[in-house]
Amino acid sequence: MALFTKEEALNYHSHGRKGKVEVVPVKPCKTQKHLSMAYSPGVAEACKAIHENPELVYEYTGRGNLVAVVSNGTAVLGLGNIGPLAGKPVMEGKGVLFKVFGDVDVYDINLNVTDPDELCAVTKALEPTFGGINLEDIKAPECFYIEEKLKKEMNIPVFHDDQHGTAIVTAAGMMNALEISGKDPAQMRVVISGAGAAAIACTNLYRNMGVKFENIAMFDSRGHINKSRTDLNEFKQQYATDKAYGSLAEAMVGADCFLGLSKAGVVSKEMVKSMSDNCPIIFACANPDPEITYDDAKQARPDCIMGTGRSDFPNQVNNVLGFPFIFRGALDCGATAITEGMKLAAAQALADLAKTEAPKYVCEAFGVDKLEFGPDYVIPKALDLRLIEYVSVAVAKAAMEEGVARKKLDLDEYKASLGKRIAESGKRVSAFVETYHLGI
């Protein structure tokens, strides 16, 4: 059942101040002295200090808490190639989530650029302004090339959330599903429907968790990806196998895990019934309708561990569990990159959080009496305020261990500061929202 009408959604975006975000000053500007320090001549002192020591840019400007959400609108979720102008509401929305969940400031950068090298050049030129780059809604296969090139050429974190966000959240769910089922990742067979950015990133991360290449069967819209095919780009070719499956149904027989990042209805009850005997793992993430519904999967195999992209069923695969807190941790330790180790640390932190009983306010928000670790709770809920403490600390710790952090944080002090930070940010955001609420 829809939570809103078309008119309500459009009214939400247009009522009062247009759009969803605004820029506000965080220093006073009420007197001549304030004005002279904010701009001329006082601002020169900050400029000279940074010119002498570039690292002081993090002390005297907001760069250390500022992320660019960069998109060309070529692969907007559920809408396709609608371009940068039509994609702007999504990027503004991403900024809202960054701020509300992680107290990360965002400028959305919507580029009328489709050439990958040109997009890289524009984004790289933005580096002095930002502490991190979140690539968003850029189509495959260009998105792989763009991210890899920018990671090599930039000295700040670059993260394509469409790829790695889903990978991190499903990896967290898989970690817990493996614990519940007793499965060994090195022995499990994984079937993947979809071969785009998210599917390949998920598969890469699963391999880092121990899943073997020879136990992976990946399908795109034309069928199984194997070495007999001549229509594969370089990114799909890395998952081309010697063995060829004639159909998704054939590959599903005996499979331990199914990951869906394709379209609704491609998996039947019979296919789920044919999966491995012990607690098959299913992440059907097509939106808004999954590859198989939660109810159908559970009817076919009551013992399955099932997640979807929907909030109205257990184990929602929601990227907001990751990106605000990953960037929070990366920014706070001055990370120069987001590494595979940092991604796995984020996944493990999410898995650990799901093993704790959810607070009462989370249960009330989702209309349940209790949320406890088990088949229907292997992924935490997005409204759990402890996420920032679990994930951001884990990411910062991994960054320091892997040598990509500019700062050394006391993790106990850092953890204690995060709850206070998000509470204070929430008060400021609420004050602005109430100002412009206007009955929406």
Q: Which residues are annotated as a binding site for (S)-malate?
A: 287, 318
- Tell me whether residue 39 is one of the annotated catalytic residues: yes
Residue 88: HSE in the Cβ half-sphere, 13 Å Cα cutoff: 13
**Do residues 346 and 339 make contact, with C-beta atoms less than 8 angstroms apart?**
no
Show binding-site residues for a divalent metal cation.
136-137, 162
- Tell me whether residue 94 is one of the annotated catalytic residues: yes
Residue 74 DSSP code: S
Is the bond preceding 28 in cis, omega lying within 30 degrees of 0? Answer: no
Cα 285 off chain centre by: 13
What is the spatial distance between Cα 114 and Cα 287, in angstroms, rounded to a whole number?
25
- Tokens for 69, please give them: 């959400």
Return all residues near 133 (Cβ < 8 A) that are at least 6 apart: 67, 68, 70, 123, 126, 150, 154, 156, 157, 158, 159
Instruction: Pick the closest to residue 158 from 135, 142, 130, 136 (CA basis).
Output: 135
Helix axes 323-332, 161-181, angle to 10 degrees: 110
Return all residues near 156 (Cβ < 8 A) that are at least 6 apart: 127, 130, 131, 132, 133, 336
Q: What does DSSP say about strands 216-220 and 190-193: parallel, antiparallel, or unpaired?
A: parallel
**Do residues 419 and 389 make contact, with C-beta atoms less than 8 angstroms apart?**
yes
Show binding-site residues.
136-137, 162, 287, 318
Residue 335 DSSP code: B
Q: 12, 39, 361, 436: which is the annotated catalytic residue?
A: 39
Outline where 39-160 has alpha helix (H).
43-52, 57-60, 83-102, 116-125, 142-153
Instruction: Pick the closest to residue 23 from 106, 109, 89, 133 (CA basis).
Output: 106
Catalytic center residues = 39, 94
